[in-house]
């Protein structure tokens, strides 16, 4: 009817960048800090797909609604229960960490979503999601997912030393940051080690788990490595600065991309946000956690970060603070410049 407002989310959903995360157990705070980092730095609208246990849903809703409107208007979100479409749900739930296997089912559940960025709860964005989203356009005609290598150096990589199952490339890939073209995943017949013909993604998951369950250590990540071992043409490998972990600096600096461009996405695996083993990672987590949603990012985020980093220079990762700060600084400058331009443009009208 003329003048009637439409409340459908469909138009904005088509234009937004889709971000998925799976949060169970004690991962509520980590997930909220990850989402906060995404909202702080991104330009385009975001659509969050949060998969969690039923008990966490009210908490997520309460916390997200407490954020100021200047930030909540930048995203929309849906919270989904943990569900597994094939196989034994209890087996999937126990695979590696609680509920982590849910990520394997995203192409099946999010049928209306074309492309998606999945991240673990212990991830922090240090630059706009827009920048990794652009990588989707770099996929060739056969690529349908992108991940970073598990390690840069085979002789100290986990897969190259210990894996008892097939894995991608020379060091395997890490699934903590995974960019996916879900439409392509749903439409592809995957080569596999079970039958001579291809299988769809959903058909393949449970038989693959049954075949390799006694050989896998890292759960769903191992299954993804097995899938892309048999289908290497389907994977785009992005550089280590898009999934920067303690392994990249605790044995000496071994991520050249981060040294040149700075860390783009920080992945604090091994629980490093919550202990004192890697204070540089913990400092970034705490500063973003404590950021009071003020407009002045330099004063309330960048300067506290610099100050905390001074206490970490005695550590292996703390010796290279510029690696952690470069993208944050670059992003903040852009935000500041854009605001100045908008402000000047507004004043010129009068």
Longest Cα separation, the chain: 71
Least trusted range by pLDDT, from 95-104, 143-152, 294-303, 310-319? 95-104
Q: How confident is the model at residue 91 (pLDDT cuts 50, 70, 90)?
A: confident
Per-residue model confidence (pLDDT) at position 89: 77
Percent pLDDT > 70 in the chain is 92
Stronger pLDDT, 304 or 294, i.e. the higher one: 304
Estimate the crossing angle of helix 220-230 against helix 201-212, to 10 degrees.
110
Q: What is the mean pLDDT of residues 44-68?
A: 96
Per-residue model confidence (pLDDT) at position 10: 42
Stronger pLDDT, 321 or 95, i.e. the higher one: 321
Per-residue model confidence (pLDDT) at position 154: 75
Per-residue model confidence (pLDDT) at position 1: 34
- Tell me which residue of 45, 106, 111 sits closest to 76, measured CA to CA: 45
Judge whether residue 54 has pLDDT over 60. Answer: yes
Question: How many Cβ atoms from other residues are within 10 Å of residue 130's Cβ?
Answer: 13
Per-residue model confidence (pLDDT) at position 308: 94
- What residue ranges do the domains of the chain occupy? 17-238, 271-345
- Please check whether residue 29 is in contact with residue 62, taking contact to mean a CB–CB distance below 8 angstroms: no
CA distances from 2 to 5, 6, 9, 44 (A): 9, 11, 19, 29
Per-residue model confidence (pLDDT) at position 102: 92
Architecture of domain 17-238 in this structure: Alpha-Beta Complex (3.90)
Q: Which residues contact 29 (CB under 8 A, 6 or more apart)?
A: 289
Dihedral of alpha carbons 273, 277, 281, 284, sign:
positive
Strand partners, 100: none
Report the chain's mean pLDDT, rounded to a whole number: 89
Judge whether residue 158 has pLDDT over 80. Answer: no
pLDDT digits (tens, 9 = 90+) for 159-217: 877 778 888 888 899 999 999 999 999 999 999 988 888 999 999 999 999 998 888 88
Q: What is the mean pLDDT of residues 14-34?
A: 93
Q: What is the mean pLDDT of residues 255-270?
A: 96
CA distance 33 to 84: 26
Per-residue model confidence (pLDDT) at position 345: 58
CA distance 49 to 87: 23
Least trusted range by pLDDT, from 217-221, 273-277, 310-314? 217-221
- Tell me which residue of 336, 21, 5, 2 sits closest to 178, measured CA to CA: 21
Q: How confident is the model at residue 346 (pLDDT cuts 50, 70, 90)?
A: low
Q: What is the mean pLDDT of residues 228-236?
A: 97
Judge whether residue 309 has pLDDT over 80. Answer: yes
CA distance 88 to 153: 37
Q: Which residue reads 């003329």 in tokens?
A: 2
Q: How far is CA 35 from the centre of its chain?
A: 10
Judge whether residue 79 has pLDDT over 60. Answer: yes
Per-residue model confidence (pLDDT) at position 343: 55
Helices (H), the chain: 10-15, 28-41, 57-66, 69-72, 89-94, 106-109, 129-133, 158-162, 182-187, 201-212, 220-230, 256-261, 279-290, 297, 303-309, 321-348
Q: What is the mean pLDDT of residues 229-239?
A: 97
Q: Which residue reads 């040294």 in tokens?
A: 259
Question: How many Cβ atoms from other residues are within 10 Å of residue 58's Cβ?
Answer: 10
Per-residue model confidence (pLDDT) at position 322: 92
Judge whether residue 11 has pLDDT over 70. Answer: no
Q: How confident is the model at residue 152 (pLDDT cuts 50, 70, 90)?
A: confident
Joined tokens for residue 226: 């097995």
């Amino acid at each position: 009817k003329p003048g009637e407002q439409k409340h459908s989310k469909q138009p904005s959903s088509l234009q937004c960048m889709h971000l998925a995360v799976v949060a169970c157990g004690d991962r509520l705070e980590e997930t909220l800090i990850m989402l906060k980092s995404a909202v702080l730095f991104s330009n385009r609208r975001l659509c969050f797909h949060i998969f969690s246990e039923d008990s966490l849903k009210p908490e997520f809703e309460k916390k997200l609604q407490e954020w100021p409107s200047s930030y909540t208007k930048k995203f929309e979100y849906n919270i989904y229960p943990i569900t597994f479409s094939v196989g034994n749900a209890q087996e999937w739930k126990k695979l590696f960490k609680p509920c982590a296997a849910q990520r394997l089912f995203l192409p099946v559940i999010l049928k209306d979503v074309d492309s998606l960025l999945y991240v673990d709860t212990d991830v922090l964005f240090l630059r706009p999601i827009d920048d990794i989203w652009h990588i989707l356009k770099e996929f060739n005609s056969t690529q349908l997912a992108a991940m970073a290598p598990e390690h840069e150096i085979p002789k100290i990589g986990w897969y190259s030393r210990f894996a008892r199952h097939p894995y991608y490339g020379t060091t395997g890939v890490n699934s903590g940051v995974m960019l996916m073209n879900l439409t392509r995943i749903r439409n592809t017949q995957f080569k596999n080690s079970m039958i001579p013909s291809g299988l769809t993604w959903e058909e393949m998951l449970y038989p693959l788990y049954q075949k390799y369950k006694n050989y896998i250590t890292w759960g769903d990540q191992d299954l993804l490595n097995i899938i892309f071992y048999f289908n290497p043409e389907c994977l785009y490998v992005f550089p280590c600065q898009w999934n920067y972990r303690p392994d990249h600096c605790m044995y000496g600096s071994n991520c050249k991309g981060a040294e040149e461009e700075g860390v783009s996405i920080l992945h604090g695996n091994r629980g490093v946000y919550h202990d004192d083993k890697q204070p540089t990672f913990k400092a970034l987590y705490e500063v973003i956690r404590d950021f009071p949603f003020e407009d002045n990012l330099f004063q309330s985020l960048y300067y506290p970060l610099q100050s905390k980093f001074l206490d970490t220079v005695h550590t292996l990762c703390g010796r290279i603070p510029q690696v952690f700060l470069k993208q944050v600084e670059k992003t903040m400058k852009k935000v500041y410049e854009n605001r100045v331009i908008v402000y000047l443009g507004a004043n010129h009208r009068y």
